[in-house]
Structure 1
Amino acid sequence: MSFKPRVASQNDLAAIQDLVKDAYTPYVSAIGRKPGPLLDDYEALINAGRVTVVDVDRVIRGILVLIPENDAMLLDNVAVAPSAQGLGLGRELMAHAEQRARIDGYSLIRLYTHELMTMNIEYYSRIGYAETHRAEQNGLKRVFMAKSLT
């Protein structure tokens, strides 16, 4: 199954916020607070052209937030609706992120995740991301990873 990512519009705001809430709320009890994506300003991110979405049957089921930085593209958030997990949307969004980074002239893509999100860390490692360091940022214990696109 193939999905076509598209740039989000303000019309997508409520659906994006709902998807992020559904995807990240299960982590609140383990982390002891809201994960970073639950605190983000999606209206501003959409206005800046940073949010990509994937629709399944005309409903947003996946989102991607990319932030261009000086030396790398930051994959700030990738989330799939719990009801759509297993369809390959995450894999599609990760591939799109890497393609977008290449098109924009980056040879490196970076991301971070909470240290307790071990399934994410294992997944990112399997698809070529290497841990660069761990640090506390905004009160969250994060694992930073990067992947060379060359």
Structure 2
Amino acid sequence: MRLACPEDQAAVERLVHDAYSPWIEVVGMRPVPMEADYGALVGAGLVHVTDDLDGLIVLVPEDGVLLVENVAVDPERHGRGLGRGLMAYAEEEARRLGLPALRLYTNVKMASNIALYESLGYVETGRQGVKGRSAVMMRKELSP
């Protein structure tokens, strides 16, 4: 894993497009990650990518928690544990930053994502609107 650099922006945007396009029909609109400004996110040092750019995670340190803003995996790589690996990396980053918890949100219609996060120890903390979409808010406390 490494931080994305400006030269990676096109590949990052393509990866997000490929990863989230199948969800458009399920959600009924473009998922939130498809609307993000990846130039700004890369420039801010928030986008972490796999060495071969087949997966990424956007991590935003907040007060007492690390926000997992986006996880994207190349659809050709689904089912190989890459998403779980990215989430494990997020936990490592939270610990490195001294943050005791992680939080994320996902669309209420993305049932497979919710199930994955629950299997990783995330618990639902509520539901709310996020940029015109219904989201499930989730959190994971890290053991000391």
**Preserved CA contact (<8 Å) 1:65 1:77:** yes
**Preserved CA contact (<8 Å) 1:17 1:42:** yes
Is 1:84 the counterpart of 2:77 in the alignment? Answer: yes
1:138 equivalent among 90, 107, 131? 131
Size of the aligned set, in residue pairs, is 143
What secondary structure, in the 3-state scheme, does the structure 2 residue paired with 1:60 have? coil
2:27 equivalent among 13, 25, 31? 31
Give the letter for the 2:6 counterpart: Q
**Preserved CA contact (<8 Å) 1:54 1:89:** no
Unmatched 5+ residue regions in structure 1? Answer: none
Instruction: Name 1:122's counterpart in structure 2.
Output: 115
% identity of equivalent residues: 45
Q: How does 1:61-76 map to 2 (within 5 A)?
A: 61-76=54-69
Runs of 4 or more, structure 1, over 6 Å off, are: none
1:19 equivalent among 5, 15, 37? 15
Alpha-carbon deviations, 1:105-140, whole Å to 9, x = none? 100100010000000001100110000000112101
Q: TM-score, normalised by structure 1?
A: 0.93
Give the superposition deviation at 1:87.
2.2
RMSD over equivalenced CA pairs, Å:
0.8
Give the superposition deviation at 1:71.
2.3
Unmatched 5+ residue regions in structure 2? Answer: none
Give the superposition deviation at 1:91.
1.2
**Preserved CA contact (<8 Å) 1:61 1:81:** yes
**Preserved CA contact (<8 Å) 1:73 1:108:** yes
